[in-house]
Each structure stands twice: as C-alpha cells, then as structure tokens.
Amino acid sequence: QKEVEQNSGPLSVPEGAIASLNCTYSDRGSQSFFWYRQYSGKSPELIMFIYSNGDKEDGRFTAQLNKASQYVSLLIRDSQPSDSATYLCAVAAGGTSYGKLTFGQGTILTVHP
C-alpha cells in the first residue's frame, strides 16, 4: 500500500469552476500536510500547509484535513488556465528537527478556457 495516494488524473475543469484534489495517507502519526504545485519542467512550489482538522483558506485555495479519515484535500475556486499543473500532496511525521516529506504521485490538473 502506498503511503500517500492521489488520483493521478488528469482532472479537467472549465475556467471558473472549482477544482477538487484529494489525497489519502496511511501513517496515523502524520502531523503536517502540504500541497505543492509543479509546472512542467519546474520545481515544486508550496501552496498550502495544514496541521489541524478542518479547513484552511488562502485566497482561492482551501485545504481540508480530516485526520480520523486520513484524508486531505485541496479546493481551487475560480480555476484559471494558469492553475494547470501537477499538484503534489505531501505528508510529514513529527518529532524531528527536520521534515521528511512523503509525496503522493501527483494529480495533473488541466483548466480549459
């Protein structure tokens, strides 16, 4: 069983719609959760992180965490063609002076005009 699972997609949404990206993880000791965006040929860029159950909003992005269900999601409102990229879910355990991130396989998002 993979430690962090995402639907690989591609997920295609029309411009202006809500894109919903999902991620599940297997380690119940995981403490922090991250969403990275990666454009083709570029390095990953941190979009959101979340530690507590519930929702966290930042502009058009909302991260949702449910530790009981071991589920984290990212909603992108008013999707734009510039949001087209691969979205990586990443999970970290705690208890160290560094963060060892485990990445999911990534979901390819395409926003079409």
Tell me which residues touch another protein (CB under 8 A): 32, 34, 36, 42-46, 49, 88, 90, 92, 94, 96-101, 103-106
Work out how close the CB of 58 gets to another protein at its nearest, in angstroms, rounded to a whole number: 13
CB closer to another protein out of 90 and 111: 90
Of residues 4 and 111, the one with the C-beta less far from another protein: 4
Q: Which residues contact 20 (CB under 8 A, 6 or more apart)?
A: 73, 74, 75
By C-beta, is 79 or 86 nearer to another protein? Answer: 86
Q: How far is the CB of 86 from another protein (least distance, A)?
A: 8
Of the two residues 74 and 90, which places its CB atom closer to another protein in the complex?
90
Task: Write down the least CB distance from residue 35 to another protein, Å.
Answer: 9
Measured in whole angstroms, the distance separating CA 97 from the mean position of its chain's CA atoms is 23
Buried/exposed 24-51: b ≥16 CB within 10 Å, e otherwise: bbeeeebebbbbbbeeeeeebeebbebe
Residue 12, token pair as written in the block = 């295609």
